[in-house]
Amino acid sequence: MELNATTMQHPQTCLEITMEVHQVVPPPHKSTIHKLKSRLKETFFPDDPLRQFKGQPTRKKWILAAQYIFPILQWGPNYSFKLFKSDIVAGLTIASLAIPQGISYAKLASLQPIVGLYSSFVPPLVYAVLGSSRDLAVGPVSIASLILGSMLRQEVSPANDPVLFLQLAFTTTFFAGFFQASLGFLRLGFIIDFLSKATLIGFMAGAAIIVSLQQLKSLLGITHFTKQMGLVPVLSSVFHNTKEWSWQTILMGFCFLVFLLVARHVSMRRPNLFWISAGAPLVSVILSTLVVFAFKAEHHGISIIGKLQQGLNPPSWNMLQFHGSHLGLSIKAGLVTGIISLTEGIAVGRTFAALKNYKVDGNKEMMAIGLMNMVGSSTSCYVTTGAFSRSAVNHNAGAKTAVSNIVMSITVMVTLLFLMPLFQYTPNVVLGAIIVSAVVGLIDIPAAYQIWKIDKFDFIVMLCAFFGVIFISVQDGLAIAVGISIFKILLQITRPKTVMLGNIPGTDIYRNLHHYKESMKIPGFLILSVEAPINFANSTYLNERILRWVEDYEAEEDLKKQSSLRFVILEMSAVSAIDTSGVSLIKELKKAMEKKGVELVLVNPLGEVMEKLQKSDEAGDFMGPDSLFLTVGEAVTTLSSTIKGQSSNHVV
């Protein structure tokens, strides 16, 4: 009102000001339904998967829909012999890796070795039809195998009750697939985003160590080994059973481990020599089997796989158990393994898609992986996903399409049908060495260093995941890391930054006074920028913090005897949302400032924020044209002239 009086007496000044001041207008009106609709779309369909259907004739729409569900229809018709040549090389390469790894990972999950091969046969076929990644090599993976085995062993012993254990493994696989497909179908894929990169790096490294520790059993030839997973019980079990150590086993394990690690190292240095590390596991298996066979080493302390079944996957839908006392365990294990393996599969798919510049639809990929596991659970397969190491080999070997998965699958089929007896004399110690050399790649020291350099808090999250996995348990370590990550976000929201802005001389630009040293305070103005949405979790804090800025300003003035504070400008450009508590905060601040004889001015409230402020301000107390500006510069210019107007008034 004071201001109005002033402008009345100085029409000319006022006119000049109005010329250069831009009005802050409310955003165009949208109905609640419309807003809800666009909010839902952004939440669940951010990638706009139906965009390609727009404006197409009906027949084309049907074709597109079929191609959307079965990506094979998209690339299949254009498939050429040239592509096939590339795919067959890649497929044979990953098969040579998949067979020994399949056997090894199944043992990691306390399942019979053949289940690992079953799982390398059916799921890749399903994925080839449904999946949209061209590089993903599908099959069992180490971490999901580890978690599946360790969670089920808590309730059922695979040695005493092998049938029940197998039933639970298949049931868990079914639930894992069901959760995966549901996440994709309900478009909740963003849930896996809560596993941040830092969490995953710590988790993977921890899991790699846990997996490697488990291999000490076969690498040292120990027969009585702990059933626990943690670092402490495993090491104590190892050193309490030193008399069970077998030097033959240790020697053999050491040789093959060195061979595998050297092969890995060579391929890492020279990506075009990828076939060295890709072929090494199979070579190890063949060599070690020959050695055992030739020297009858199984009678000299080296344990071997033993007789294996032959033939293709038997049906297993009759083994799924949807009732009984272990149902809760299956569901829980399904959820954990499902999410972990989904995270790995999606991350791998996205990585290679970005390299080759094509797109992977996260939610659709989840449905593909989920369906693959549901089919797998009915055909004697356990949890599978896109494995990082094998996909990298696939990519380096020149895979062009999912046909490489089909080639691998057929190779595994041939193995299942005819070559199983050859594995009878394969020593367990070589399987252990294969696992260790595979999981070593999960420990990513350079990435950890990078995280340390960029963000200390992320580094702490990583350490929590790492030590949680090693000392507590795989699931708890993961849960702790995710909890801390979310806590960090909530803390950021609870304590948003407020920053004092100053004018960069000679411009209309206002920036953080503590960042841009050349920027200057404007006498009589306190310009604050709030850098977060304002909501219930931070409105109390913001209230206290802003009042403290004002008090600090006043205290400093007392010292300098400057002109007193007239205006507090809140720059709202970074306030992306507000809720009822936030609206109350603005009202309370306005009142508190009025009591001090200071005027609160808002600058550039964004669409939604402005709408809510206006709805709550029927009397026009704080959203009138005198206290709302489009830029800080315009606010300062306009309000300065009213001060001058008033003081010249006093002089008159």
Residues from 480 through 499 that contact its own copies (CB under 8 A): 485-486, 489-497, 499
In the bound state with its own copies, the residue whose beta carbon lies nearer, of 74 and 581, is 581
Site for its own copies in 381-410 (CB under 8 A): none
Distance, CA of 454 to chain centre = 18
Site of tokens 């294990």 = 333
544 lies in the site for its own copies, by CB under 8 A: yes
In the bound state with its own copies, the residue whose beta carbon lies nearer, of 87 and 458, is 458
Element (H, E) at 450: helix 445-454
In the bound state with its own copies, the residue whose beta carbon lies nearer, of 334 and 605, is 605
- Smallest gap, in angstroms, from Cβ of residue 367 to its own copies? 17
CB atoms within 10 A of CB 520: 12
Site of tokens 């301000």 = 617
Q: At what angle do helices 81-108 and 388-396 cross, to 10 degrees?
A: 160
Among 548, 594, 625, 648, binds its own copies (CB under 8 A): 548
In the bound state with its own copies, the residue whose beta carbon lies nearer, of 431 and 481, is 481
- Smallest gap, in angstroms, from Cβ of residue 78 to its own copies? 22
Q: Binding pattern to its own copies, positions 47-86, x when CB under 8 A?
A: xx--------------------------------------
Strand ranges (E), 473-598: 498-503, 510-512, 525-530, 567-571
CB atoms within 10 A of CB 65: 12
In the bound state with its own copies, the residue whose beta carbon lies nearer, of 511 and 521, is 511
Q: Which stretch binds its own copies (CB under 8 A): 105-113, 213-221, 335-343, 533-541?
A: 533-541
Question: Would you say the C-alpha torsion 374, 376, 379, 382 has a positive or negative sign?
Answer: negative
Q: Which stretch binds its own copies (CB under 8 A): 46-54, 98-106, 256-264, 383-391?
A: 46-54
What residues contact residue 72 under an 8 Å CB cut-off, 6+ apart? 128, 129, 130, 402
Site for its own copies in 452-481 (CB under 8 A): 453-458
Among 9, 318, 540, 647, binds its own copies (CB under 8 A): 540
Among 531, 554, 566, 643, binds its own copies (CB under 8 A): 531
Q: Binding pattern to its own copies, positions 425-454, x when CB under 8 A?
A: -------------------------xx-xx
Neighbour-count burial of 651, counting CB atoms closer than 10 A to its CB (0-12 exposed, 13-18 middle, 19+ buried): exposed
Q: Are 75 and 401 spatial neighbours (Cβ–Cβ below 8 Å)? A: yes
Which two three-digit tokens encode residue 488? 């960090």
Q: Are 109 and 337 spatial neighbours (Cβ–Cβ below 8 Å)? A: no
In whole angstroms, give the CA distance from residue 163 to residue 567.
Answer: 77
Q: Binding pattern to its own copies, positions 165-204, x when CB under 8 A?
A: -------------------------x--xxxxxxx-----
- Smallest gap, in angstroms, from Cβ of residue 65 to its own copies? 21
- Smallest gap, in angstroms, from Cβ of residue 580 to its own copies? 5
Site for its own copies in 557-616 (CB under 8 A): 573-574, 576-577, 579-581, 583-584, 588, 591-592, 595, 604, 606-607, 612, 615-616
SS3 state of residue 565: coil
Q: Binding pattern to its own copies, positions 618-647, x when CB under 8 A?
A: ------------xx----------------
- Smallest gap, in angstroms, from Cβ of residue 444 to its own copies? 12
Specify the pairing of strand 498-503 against strand 599-603: unpaired
In SS3 terms, 512-563 reads as ECCCCCCCECCCCEEEEEECCCECCCCHHHHHHHHHHHHHHHHHHHHHHCCC
300 lies in the site for its own copies, by CB under 8 A: no
HSE toward the beta carbon, residue 51, CA cutoff 13 A:
7
What residues contact residue 621 under an 8 Å CB cut-off, 6+ apart? 587, 590
- Smallest gap, in angstroms, from Cβ of residue 544 to its own copies? 5
In whole angstroms, give the CA distance from residue 614 to residue 622.
Answer: 9
Q: Are 602 and 627 spatial neighbours (Cβ–Cβ below 8 Å)? A: yes
Q: Are 530 and 493 spatial neighbours (Cβ–Cβ below 8 Å)? A: no
In the bound state with its own copies, the residue whose beta carbon lies nearer, of 49 and 306, is 49
SS3 state of residue 115: helix
In the bound state with its own copies, the residue whose beta carbon lies nearer, of 220 and 593, is 593
In the bound state with its own copies, the residue whose beta carbon lies nearer, of 564 and 616, is 616
Q: Which stretch binds its own copies (CB under 8 A): 274-282, 302-310, 332-340, 503-511?
A: 503-511
In whole angstroms, give the CA distance from residue 17 to residue 576.
Answer: 29
- Smallest gap, in angstroms, from Cβ of residue 458 to its own copies? 5
In the bound state with its own copies, the residue whose beta carbon lies nearer, of 5 and 36, is 36
